[in-house]
């Protein structure tokens, strides 16, 4: 028999045999867990399946009988919410030819997974993507994570929150003025405007770079990207993060590549130089402050002072809360770069998209605008609408504004799942004396959309937008207080020791923007007159836009430009 013919015949047979054996082996390992098992014939992250599964999702789900096909396609959690878990169980194993995946929507199990940070570590591919500009608090594990947490987290304090409050108020007031100046108060720039607020707040709080409000326009061609600022370059990377992290910039620069990727390549190549220049300038400012010229107080200056003081062992010189001094207790420049990217890219995208969903939902449900305006009128009283209220006395009283954020995050969590992985087999024992053996290595996902919409936890209206579910009367029956959900049932900022250190910053920014907008305005959808659309139909269209979403860096609407709203002064 011809050797070439033999190779062509035997090669595929060997590949199929290995595929069947791997799937069978992993299925047996999954059965040991005691959990329900679903099968996927494809490795979810394998090529070329990774490239085709999204566009071909309807076809794949129709022609392939494997129940795990749906689970293997990115974004299924948002499409299904709690439905699949209702049928299969609160936790199950997806057996694949590569690594098995544990999908958890069991609050007790989720709580254990998030608490055991040394056993359930960051997913390697997620760490690779999020650390492409340097190691950071999000991607680090073990003692490296503990060191960064000790140094960074204590400095995201009330001093930073107060700056977030004042800058958010200023930016939101400018946005209101911009919207009211549009013909008839109607604008399609609402979502880009909210993204501008988020990035401008980070520019001021993170880097001491104030910028006046205007709807966000990122560079869209390589020539414009050459002149982009650090914040603009980071924003481009956040928008196309997977490409930025995994595809070499030289390849993206090639003439046959789409212009968007060529533009991204320029931004990626410019970031190291922009970062170095920023750090050098900040160190010069800090040195000048020692001679009486004054220093800035922002996130970058804190990280630089903390790092330099740690290297020299001078904790008092830093003036910060971190434990600087002993060898290794400082941030390298690479880690400063990585942490600035995480706080800028991830912080910008999560807050901006939460604001986008909230504003669109409030336009569809005007009764909740009135609900938060009752609170604003009570708390702010006769203050001028453009006056910036005091942070320390006002923010704690705006429980309804924060409830709107929590309800938005419940239905539209920016991160659909909290990802972890295990390298060796682990036993998960819950408070209910249940025990599950998970054979390693294995990928672990905590399914936020399912946990956030279970009827047994959130009630029969679990899929409805009802911010008042988060409010209860205080002990004296007068002041309203926020409800604290049961542990393991609500994790938009992750949970356990690795809870997001920027949680308070994002809450302050969201509440401030809500307060600034709705103390001055009401918003409503603009009906499509050409189609004879009524106001009720326009409101329903807003809800369709929120459901037409896909996860990118975070969950985002596919057609944000169709959020067309009218702003009316109260």
Phi, psi at residue 267, to the nearest 5°?
-60, -45
Task: Tell the residue number behind the tokens 């320029």, with chain if given.
Answer: 266
Q: What is the dihedral of CA 336, 339, 343, 344, to 10 degrees?
A: 60
Name which of 87, 82, 53 is nearest 70 in CA terms.
53
Phi, psi values for residue 207, rounded to 5°? -130, 0
How many alpha carbons lie under 13 Å from residue 410 in its C-beta half-sphere?
A: 27
Q: Per-residue b/e over 334-351, b at no fewer than 16 CB within 10 Å?
A: ebbbbbbbbbbbbbbbbb
Selection from 495, 409, 455, 444 nearest residue 91 by Cα: 444
Q: Are 351 and 198 in contact (CB under 8 A)?
A: yes
How far is C-alpha 438 from the chain's CA centre? 28
Tokens of 130: 């999020």
d(CA 515, CA 104): 36
Strand partners, 472: 481
- Burial classification of residue 295, based on how many CB atoms lie within 10 Å of its CB (0-12 exposed, 13-18 middle, 19 or more buried): middle
Report the Cα 418 to chain-centroid distance in Å.
10
Residue 500 among known ligand-binding residues: yes
Pairing state between β 565-569 and 521-525 = antiparallel
- State which H helix or E strand residue 324 sits in: none
Annotated binding site: 500
Annotated binding site for heme: 500
């Amino acid at each position: 028999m011809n050797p070439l013919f033999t190779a062509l015949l035997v090669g595929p047979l060997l590949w199929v045999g290995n595929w069947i054996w791997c799937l069978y082996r992993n299925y047996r390992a999954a059965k040991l867990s005691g959990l329900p098992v679903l099968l996927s014939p494809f490795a979810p992250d394998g090529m070329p399946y990774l490239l085709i599964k999204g566009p071909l999702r309807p076809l794949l789900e129709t022609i392939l009988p494997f129940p795990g096909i749906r689970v293997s396609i990115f974004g299924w959690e948002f499409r299904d919410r709690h439905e699949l878990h209702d049928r299969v169980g609160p936790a199950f194993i997806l057996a694949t030819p590569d690594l098995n995946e544990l999908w958890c929507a069991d609050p007790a199990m989720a709580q254990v997974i998030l608490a055991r940070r040394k056993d359930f570590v960051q997913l390697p591919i997620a760490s690779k993507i999020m650390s492409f500009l340097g190691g950071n608090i999000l991607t680090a594990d073990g003692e490296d994570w503990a060191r960064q947490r000790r140094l960074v987290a204590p400095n995201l304090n009330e001093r930073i929150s107060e700056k977030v409050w004042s800058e958010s108020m200023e930016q939101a007031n400018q946005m209101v003025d911009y919207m009211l100046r549009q013909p008839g108060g109607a604008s399609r720039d609402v979502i880009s405007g909210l993204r501008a607020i988020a990035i401008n707040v980070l520019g001021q709080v993170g880097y001491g770079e104030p910028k006046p409000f205007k709807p966000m326009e990122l560079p869209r061609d390589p020539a414009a990207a050459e002149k982009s600022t650090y914040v603009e370059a980071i924003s481009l990377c956040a928008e196309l993060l997977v490409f930025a992290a995994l595809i070499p910039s030289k390849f993206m620069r090639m003439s046959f590549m789409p212009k968007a990727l060529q533009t991204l390549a320029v931004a990626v190549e410019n970031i190291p130089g922009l970062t170095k220049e920023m750090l050098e300038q900040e160190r010069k400012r800090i040195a000048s402050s020692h001679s009486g010229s004054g220093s800035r107080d922002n996130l970058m200056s804190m990280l630089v002072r903390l790092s330099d003081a740690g290297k020299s062992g001078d904790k008092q010189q830093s003036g910060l809360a971190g434990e600087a001094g002993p060898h290794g207790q400082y941030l390298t420049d690479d880690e400063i770069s990585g942490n600035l990217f995480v706080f800028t890219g991830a912080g910008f995208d999560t807050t901006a998209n939460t604001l986008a969903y909230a504003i669109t939902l409030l336009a569809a449900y005007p009764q909740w605008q009135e609900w938060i305006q009752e609170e604003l009128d009570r708390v702010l009283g006769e203050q001028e609408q453009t006056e910036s209220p005091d942070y320390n006395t006002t923010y704690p009283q705006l429980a309804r504004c924060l409830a709107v954020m929590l309800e938005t995050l419940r239905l539209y969590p920016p991160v659909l799942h909290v990802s972890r992985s295990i390298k060796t087999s682990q036993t998960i024992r819950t408070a209910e004396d249940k025990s599950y053996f998970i054979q390693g290595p294995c990928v672990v996902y905590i399914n936020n959309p399912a946990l956030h919409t279970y009827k047994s936890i959130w009630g029969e209206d679990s899929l409805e937008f009802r911010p008042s579910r988060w409010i209860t009367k205080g002990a004296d029956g007068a002041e309203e207080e926020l409800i604290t959900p049961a542990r393991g049932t609500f994790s938009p900022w992750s949970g356990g020791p690795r809870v997001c250190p920027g949680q308070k910053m994002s809450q302050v920014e969201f509440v401030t923007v809500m307060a600034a907008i709705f103390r001055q305005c009401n918003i409503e959808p603009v009906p499509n007159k050409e189609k004879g659309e009524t106001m009720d139909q326009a409101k329903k269209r807003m809800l369709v836009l929120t459901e037409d979403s896909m996860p990118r860096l975070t969950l985002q609407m596919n057609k944000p430009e169709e959020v067309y709203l009218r702003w009316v002064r109260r």
